[in-house]
Each structure stands twice: as C-alpha cells, then as structure tokens.
Amino acid sequence: MADTSDFNQRIIAEFRENHGKVGGPFEGAPLLLLHSTGARSGAPRVNPMMYLRDGERYLVFASKAGSDHNPDWFWNLRAHPDARIELGDRTLDVHAVELTGAERDEKYRTQAGLYPGFADYERKTERVIPVVALVPAW
C-alpha cells in the first residue's frame, strides 16, 4: 500500500508541476486527478488516473490493473458521487455516474482499443470492470 501511495504522490506532484503532463507509464496518456471523499473515513483523497473524453464527460475505468477488487476510489464515488477533477491547470466539479450494460461495454472496448493494457486488465479478472462517467456540474 505504501508503494502505491508513494507512486501516486510522485505522479500527482509531476502532474501539477508540468500542467497535467507526466512521464513514465502515463507518458502521452490523458491523465486527470480525481478528488473524492473517503467512503468510510470521509477524508479527502486524490488519485491520478487515465480517462477517456466522451463529449463533455470524462470516463474513468476502475481496472485496478486487473485486480479482483475494485479500487477504493470507485467505492468513494459510489458513496459520495460529487467530486472534483484536475485537468492540466483546470479544476472542475463533477458528478459520478456508473455506466451499465451496452454503454459500459462499448466505452470499455473503446478504451481497450486505444490502450491495450485495459484489455489485459479485463482478461486478468472475472469481475466486470466498472466504467464511471464524470459529468461536469455546470
């Protein structure tokens, strides 16, 4: 857990220092910082993650690298769907909506086509990886 936290903290710092651009495994990928509220703790959380732009929505994928368990941020959004994202130098209030059925499947296929690692994640687990639309709260 500490390794993941340290990794995320380095990505977050690099993201903010470079106006949303990072190197390493996320180099060239669309990245945002998700600010959520802990489902049980109520504490603020920040997680870097890839996204797929879908009109005005930002789609995020609860892959957790193919783990058999959903990431904590997914449960945070389920408990507290109003959140905030950082995109480059912009901050945006959003509302999280989980996609289901054919729409979820189509959006996941699109992401896996653009970034084959997501297809690998899906093969590693038997769970259906959630797709969450972050809808701007204009």
Q: Rounded CA gap, 92 and 134, in Å?
A: 10
Q: Rounded CA gap, 138 and 122, in Å?
A: 33
Q: How far is CA 77 from the centre of its chain?
A: 11
**Which residue in 68, 62, 29, 27 sits closest to 47, CA to CA?**
62
pTM above 0.85, yes or no: yes
Domains and CATH numbers, the chain: 2-136 (2.30.110.10)
H-type helices in the chain, by residue range? 2-17, 72-79, 101-114, 117-124
CB-based contacts of 122, cutoff 8 Å, min separation 6: 63, 66, 108, 112, 129
The pLDDT value recorded for residue 3 is 72
Q: Rounded CA gap, 84 and 35, in Å?
A: 5
The pLDDT value recorded for residue 2 is 59
* Local confidence pLDDT in tens for the 138 residues of the chain: 557 788 889 999 999 999 999 998 888 999 999 999 999 999 999 999 999 999 999 999 999 999 999 999 999 999 999 999 999 999 999 999 999 999 999 999 999 999 999 999 999 999 999 999 999 997
Residue-wise pLDDT tens digits, 37-55: 999 999 999 999 999 999 9
**Which residue in 39, 64, 66 sits closest to 122, CA to CA?**
66
**Which residue in 81, 14, 5 sits closest to 47, CA to CA?**
5
The two structure tokens encoding residue 46: 């920040």
